[in-house]
Amino acid sequence: MLAYILRRIALMVPTILGIMLVSFVVVQFAPGGPVERVIAQLTGDDVSATARVSGGGGDFSGGAAPPGGGMDASASKYRGAQGLDPKFIKELEKQFGFDKPAHERFLLMIWNYAQFDFGRSYFRDIRVLDLIAEKLPVSISLGLWMTLLTYLISIPLGISKAMRDGSRFDVWTSGVIIVGYAIPSFLFAILLIILFAGGSFLDWFPLRGLTSDNWADLSWPERILDYGWHLVLPLTSMVLGAFATMTLLTKNSFLEEIRKQYVTTARMKGLGERKVLYGHVFRNAMLIVIAGFPSAFISAFFTGSLLIETIFSLDGLGLLGFESVLNRDYPVVFGTLYIFSLAGLIIGLVSDLTYMVVDPRIDFETREV
């Protein structure tokens, strides 16, 4: 198994490099950028941008644009740069690192990232790692509760559906599951806001954040209730699709095991249905479900919460990534991409090793990567 783990770790290096290279190339051809962002702020074309630029070169925070001093290639290639001093444009390029060729910037970025040095945000004046650590608790909270609720609902329901396959209960619950799977989580979130968060009907649940403004003044029991009350709508939106997938996975896994020969043999020996189910079928059927827990959590943690965090104004990694892409805050965009990709690869390895913990009969030494 050690050889398998080492091979998987070795493959993570080219995988990470490929992900970062493709993303870097795409960004090079994307319109706009941090330089254009500052130019738009200075010329009054972009009132939403945060115009504070950190690092060597000073603070460009609105106000009048620098006096014109002729035009050259460095200024004319940026939209809205007409009339700005070319020296000022070059200073901006140097400050953001765009004075170097693209391949040099990529190699420098990879070298720094290998040392977990992700630099500072262009527009927030804070280290990328500190910014991620600041937003991490919200995303972890959403991802953890979503995964736990999904498993707590899906596993019992999937087992019940497998034991009553073809019954009226199975048909009706399958209809609910199909509808839940078909509705996008963000659309369901908007529907919940309209119905229960003061949109057009009831005003039962808060619309923003995970805690109330008077959180610091509440007692511990009141804090727990307040936190749970804020989680109801976001978690309901996120659990819907994941719960449907996990329920069907559990049902199909149990049905496959129930139809195997060893189950028939156990019944012929006089074992009760409950003993057959939980003494023989459960362990084998739950193998794929339990082993998928790490990947299910990482999926909920990194991808499932992006739109939900944006809709409910939850200050987590999803909202951070969305705002960073809009603001062309490349250190945050690439830093979070690198961390998420690395975490995803590690979780993939952990998921494989979880199979061995659940079923020691699995031998990774004979498995090809």
Provide the β-strand partners of residue 127.
120
Lowest mean pLDDT, pick from 10-19, 292-301, 328-337: 292-301
CA torsion 52→56→58→60, rounded to 10°? -30
Instruction: State both tokens at 7.
Output: 């091979």
Same domain, 320 and 202: yes
Q: What is the pLDDT of residue 93?
A: 75
* Average confidence (pLDDT) over 216-240: 87
**61, pLDDT greater than 50:** no
Same domain, 79 and 144: no
CA atoms of 157 and 162, how far apart (whole Å): 9
Q: What is the pLDDT of residue 305?
A: 66
- 87 belongs to a structural domain: yes
Residue 357 backbone dihedrals phi, psi, to 5 degrees: -65, -40
Q: Which residue range forms the structural domain that includes residue 206?
A: 129-326
pLDDT, tens only, 281-304: 877 777 777 766 666 666 666 655
Same domain, 243 and 273: yes
Q: What is the pLDDT of residue 361?
A: 66
**130, pLDDT greater than 50:** yes
Same domain, 87 and 142: no
**74, pLDDT greater than 80:** no
* b/e burial code for range 148-168 (CB count within 10 A of at least 16 → b): ebbbeebbebbbbbbbeeeee
User: Which among 123, 143, 166 is the end of a domain?
Assistant: 123
- 100 belongs to a structural domain: yes
User: Which element (helix H / strand E) includes 188?
Assistant: helix 185-196
Same domain, 104 and 220: no
* Average confidence (pLDDT) over 340-347: 83
Residue 108 backbone dihedrals phi, psi, to 5 degrees: -65, -40
**22, pLDDT greater than 90:** yes
What's the length of the chain? 369
Q: What is the pLDDT of residue 220?
A: 87
Instruction: State both tokens at 77.
Output: 């290639």
Count of structural domains within the chain: 2
CA atoms of 369 and 251, how far apart (whole Å): 29
Instruction: State both tokens at 266.
Output: 């156990």
53 versus 116: the higher-pLDDT residue is: 116
Lowest mean pLDDT, pick from 54-58, 78-82, 169-173, 364-368: 54-58
Residue 127 backbone dihedrals phi, psi, to 5 degrees: -65, 145
Lowest mean pLDDT, pick from 33-37, 134-138, 213-217: 33-37
Q: What is the pLDDT of residue 299?
A: 66
- 138 belongs to a structural domain: yes
**8 Å CB contact between 310 and 318:** yes
Per cent of the chain over pLDDT 90 is 7
Same domain, 95 and 203: no
Same domain, 227 and 282: yes
Q: What is the pLDDT of residue 113?
A: 92
Same domain, 117 and 133: no
* Average confidence (pLDDT) over 24-44: 76
181 versus 71: the higher-pLDDT residue is: 181
Lowest mean pLDDT, pick from 44-53, 80-89, 167-176, 332-341: 44-53
Same domain, 151 and 289: yes
**75, pLDDT greater than 80:** no
* Average confidence (pLDDT) over 232-260: 84
Q: What is the pLDDT of residue 110?
A: 92
Using the Cα atoms of residue 161, residue 242, residue 237 and residue 297 in order, give the sign of their dihedral: positive
Angle among Cα 275, 351, 245 to the nearest 5 degrees reads 65
Q: What is the pLDDT of residue 364?
A: 61
DSSP state string for 243-282:
HHHHHHHHHHHHHHHHTSHHHHHHHHTT--HHHHIIIIIH
**8 Å CB contact between 264 and 175:** no
Q: Which residues touch 214 (CB under 8 Å, ≥6 apart)?
A: none
Give the CA diameter of the chain.
94
Give the chain's radius of gyration (CA, Å): 26
- 350 belongs to a structural domain: no
Same domain, 198 and 224: yes
Per cent of the chain over pLDDT 70 is 79
Residue 313 backbone dihedrals phi, psi, to 5 degrees: 55, 50
Same domain, 222 and 134: yes
CA atoms of 159 and 176, how far apart (whole Å): 16
* Average confidence (pLDDT) over 295-317: 73
CATH at 310: 1.10.3720.10
338: burial class by Cβ within 10 Å (0-12, 13-18, 19+)? buried
Same domain, 89 and 155: no
